[in-house]
């Protein structure tokens, strides 16, 4: 038997969007409603008259268009893309919540979906009753559900509220129970949307661990949608990148993440450089540059690098504070650097001032990085400006020798100099 558990071929989902034409359709006021009611009463009393109806202005919108892929049993797959790319639509089609407009979906096995807070449970039933209801929907017998019951309750941490109707649950409690049910009732396919963002950090970590176990230890299939590239990279080795309803990339997660991050940036902005809008006022970063070893935003590991910032000061203050972070492609803060000089000129007079941070030997591992800047007034704890995802640059290893095999992406965060001693026999 084939290992393919999901097969999608030429999938498309179309929606019809209605537009209101100016002069023909508009929102009704209370006076319009009262007047319309009187006219309707008059029409009922008078002989019927044929009324000409205005045509509706409709537009076709393809949320998904010509999407094809196959997923094997036991794979954990990330689904990523910008808002509106078609991620949630795809999951709803795979979960059979909505029907495709064209194309084919073949799914082998039971599917448990966690797509939105508020779906999947009956609000009037208790947590206990909903566990059994969901198990029955998945085709499980009462004894099967009973075996998993204690494990579900313990994972969800809702023992005190087990016999309370779920309509009284907080969104966090609801998601904890919904995920516990979906993950523990042994579906062949587990589909999880960004809904986990409702939970706290500890619960999110717990869920990621469980989804990893579902795929690697239990041999079941996981589809996971998230805007957290760190979570996607932690759970999956393969990801599908959607863009405007099409599959832009289907392959290794590290490559998909890099493409996604690159697509978030303004393509007109050069690598390693940032320029503030010309009409920006107040204390701010006028421009920023990364001086890389190879130029054009490319840096070779182990070489000197410099980060330069032009600070535009209109209101000097003695407690102005500037810092910046280096951020990985997975949106992880890697390192932070502060500039706080009590004698800095920009604390005493207006103007444009250049600050420069030099690192003699950058040891960041190969990959794509950006900067986040923080400009604040410390005494009043006022944030003046916070720039994110600026000055993208790449670290490469092309001049660093590595015997026997090639450099691999995401092996580590940074690579230190080290000195090995020869192995000595001691016995």
Of residues 303, 401, 404, 414, the one with CA closest to residue 367: 414
Q: What is the mean pLDDT of residues 409-422?
A: 82
Contact by Cβ (8 Å): 79, 240: yes
Contact by Cβ (8 Å): 301, 363: yes
Of residues 24, 27, 28, the one with CA closest to residue 54: 24
Please report the pLDDT score of residue 184 as a whole number.
84
Q: What is the mean pLDDT of residues 345-358?
A: 94
Contact by Cβ (8 Å): 325, 371: yes
E-only strand ranges, 207-360: 221-225, 238-243, 246-252, 273-275, 284-291, 298-300, 305-313, 320-328, 333-339, 351-359
Highest average pLDDT, of 147-161, 185-199, 263-277, comes from: 147-161
Provide the percentage of residues in the chain whose pLDDT is more than 70: 83
Q: What is the mean pLDDT of residues 229-250?
A: 88
Q: What is the mean pLDDT of residues 124-143?
A: 85
Provide the percentage of residues in the chain whose pLDDT is more than 90: 33
> What does the domain layout of the chain look like in residue ranges?
61-264, 273-396
CA distance 352 to 284: 10
CA distance 301 to 395: 6
Residue 97: pLDDT above 70?
A: yes
Helical ranges in 113-269 per DSSP H? 127-137, 142-156, 171-184, 201-216, 229-235, 253-264
- Domain with residues 61-264, CATH architecture: 3-Layer(aba) Sandwich (3.40)
**CATH code assigned to 273-396:** 2.70.50.60
Q: Which residues fall within 8 angstroms of residue 256, CB to CB, at 6 or more apart? A: 78, 80, 239, 240, 241, 249, 250
Lowest-pLDDT choice from 84-98, 223-237, 302-316, 375-389? 223-237
Residue 54: pLDDT above 60?
A: no
């Amino acid at each position: 038997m084939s290992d393919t558990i999901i097969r999608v071929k030429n999938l498309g989902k179309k929606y019809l969007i209605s537009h209101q034409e100016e002069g023909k359709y508009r929102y009704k006021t209370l006076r319009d409603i009262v007047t319309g009611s009187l006219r309707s009463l008059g029409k009922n009393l008078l002989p019927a008259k044929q009324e000409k109806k205005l045509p509706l202005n409709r537009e076709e919108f393809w949320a998904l268009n010509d999407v094809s892929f196959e997923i094997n049993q036991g794979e954990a797959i990330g689904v990523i893309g910008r808002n509106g790319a078609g991620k949630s639509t795809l999951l709803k089609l795979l979960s059979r919540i909505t029907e495709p407009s064209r194309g084919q979906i073949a799914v082998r096995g039971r599917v448990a979906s966690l797509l939105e807070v508020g779906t999947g449970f009956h609000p009037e039933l208790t947590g206990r009753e909903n566990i059994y209801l969901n198990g029955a929907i998945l085709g499980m017998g009462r004894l099967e559900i009973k075996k998993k019951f204690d494990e579900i309750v313990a994972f969800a941490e809702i023992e005190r509220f087990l016999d309370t109707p779920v309509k009284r649950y907080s969104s966090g409690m609801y998601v904890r129970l919904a995920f516990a049910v979906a993950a523990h009732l042994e579906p062949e396919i587990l589909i999880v949307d960004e809904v986990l963002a409702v939970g706290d950090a500890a619960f999110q970590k717990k869920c990621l661990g469980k989804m990893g176990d579902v795929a690697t230890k239990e041999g079941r299939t996981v589809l996971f949608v998230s805007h957290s590239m760190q979570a996607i990279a932690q759970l999956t080795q393969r990801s599908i990148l959607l863009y405007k309803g099409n599959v832009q990339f289907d392959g290794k997660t590290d490559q998909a993440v890099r493409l996604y991050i690159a697509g978030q940036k303004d393509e007109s902005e050069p690598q390693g450089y940032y320029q503030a809008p010309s009409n920006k006022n107040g204390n701010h970063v006028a421009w920023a540059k990364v001086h890389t070893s190879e130029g054009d935003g490319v840096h070779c590991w182990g070489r000197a690098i410099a980060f330069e910032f032009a600070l535009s000061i209109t209101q000097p203050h003695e407690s102005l504070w500037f810092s910046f972070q280096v951020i990985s492609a997975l949106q992880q803060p890697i390192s932070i650097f502060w500039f706080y000089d009590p004698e800095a000129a920009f604390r005493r007079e207006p103007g444009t001032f250049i600050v420069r941070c030099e690192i003699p030997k950058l040891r960041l591992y190969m990959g794509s990085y950006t900067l986040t800047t923080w400009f604040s007034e410390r005494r009043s704890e006022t944030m003046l400006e916070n720039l994110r995802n600026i000055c993208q640059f790449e670290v490469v290893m092309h001049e660093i020798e590595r015997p026997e095999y090639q450099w691999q992406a995401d092996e580590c965060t940074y690579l230190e100099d080290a000195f090995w001693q020869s192995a000595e026999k001691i016995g």
